[in-house]
Structure 1
């Protein structure tokens, strides 16, 4: 956990070096955590997410948006460091993609970890794709789907546990 916060600090410190093309802000909204368990039927959980971000302008059409987010849905929580590459199709509309590196927690995750022991990891590596729309210069809306690349279960190859995410939210640039 300490390494995640140090990495987030480094990203935000780098962003402040190029402050003229950098904006900071907060984001919040709806999160759906969709567990995918091989051999079992698990319902999706709906909840919320909050976070902070920096948007670093590279050119008129391209920017990088590192984020630190916290999501909670049902008995599952996730803290993640995201790095979205954004392509601005127009002044208002963008598409974005990038990695989301998260750590799953909560009662359900702790129960699974107790059962599986060393064959379980809380690390959640995702590739996310999404769209965003700037309502004003300060306010924007975005939607994103993240699909997990690694498996929480590190044992037998015939079994797997993944948690994919859907986020729909709004953000405010300071």
Structure 2
């Protein structure tokens, strides 16, 4: 958790410094650095061979976003998000049960490159660092005593699209895919589709 605190603090300091520098310096674009809030719906699941038939779970994400324009059509964007994830599985081969539910909550920190195709509309992609903050496993409808099955850290990628109005309101869709095994010593990866709205100041 110390590494998570240092990372979040660093991103917040970077955002504040970037906004100050952007407001003080001359630049060639009419876009300025901004901070904002965002939130929306998660449709989370997993991919991999070491599991039975899975179904997606619907949850939410919410957090802060900061954008630093570097050119007329290019920006860097960093976010700190609380993200409810997990999956449902029928006949889980690892547990020998009829069904199981994995409820996994993360702090996600995506760092994205954004390219504006036209005014207000951008495509974005980049790495995402995810830190598990909560885990709950239910097997055949009852909470399991084994609550430390999932890895504490997940490294992945995030990619999506955003449309933002001149007033700062924006809507987005994004897909996140993890490269780290969700459950220890298994081939199971996070796969999350997100849609949401936000506002940049």
TM-score by length of 1: 0.86
| 1:161 aligned residue | 188
* Residues 161 and 113 of structure 1, relative CA distance in 2, 3 Å threshold: farther
Unmatched tracts of structure 1, length 5 or more: none
| Runs of 5+ consecutive residues of structure 2 not aligned to the other structure | 24-31, 87-102
1:43 aligned to 2:62?
no
Q: Check 1:115–1:7 CA distance in 2 against 1; reply closer, same or farther (3 A cut).
A: closer
CA deviations on 1:32-83 (whole Å, 9 max, x unpaired) are 1112352311211001110101111111111111100001247321211111
SS state at 2:52 partner? coil
Larger Rg: 2
Whether 1:106 aligns to 2:135 is yes
> Once superposed, which parts of structure 1, at least 4 consecutive aligned residues long, lie more than 6 Å away?
none
User: Which position in structure 2 is the counterpart of 1:86?
Assistant: 114
Whole-angstrom CA distance in 2 between matches of 1:152 and 1:36? 10
Deviations 1:107-156 (A, max 9, x none): 1299596575xxx522121111100001333100111001111213443x
In the alignment, which of 128, 132, 137 is matched to residue 167 of structure 2?
Answer: 137
The answer to whether the aligner puts 1:172 opposite 2:172 as a matched pair is no
SS in structure 2 at match of 1:49: strand
Shift of 1:168: 0.4
Change (3 A) 1:112 1:44: farther
State the partner residue of 1:53. 65
The question of whether the paired residues in 2 share the 8 Å contact of 1:135 and 1:141 is answered with: no
Equivalent residue in structure 2 for 1:29, among 25, 28, 40: 40
Partner of 1:95: 123
What is the alpha-carbon distance in structure 1 between the residues aligned to residue 158 and residue 63 of structure 2? 16
In 1, the alpha carbon distance for the partners of 2:36 and 2:69 equals: 14
**Residue aligning to 1:122:** 152
Q: In the comparison of the two structures, how many residue pairs are matched?
A: 168
8 A Cα contact 2:162 2:170, kept in partner: yes
Report the 3-state secondary structure (helix = DSSP H, G, I; strand = E; otherwise coil) of the residue aligned with 1:45: strand
As a proportion of its length, which structure holds more helix?
1
SS in 2 for 1:102: strand
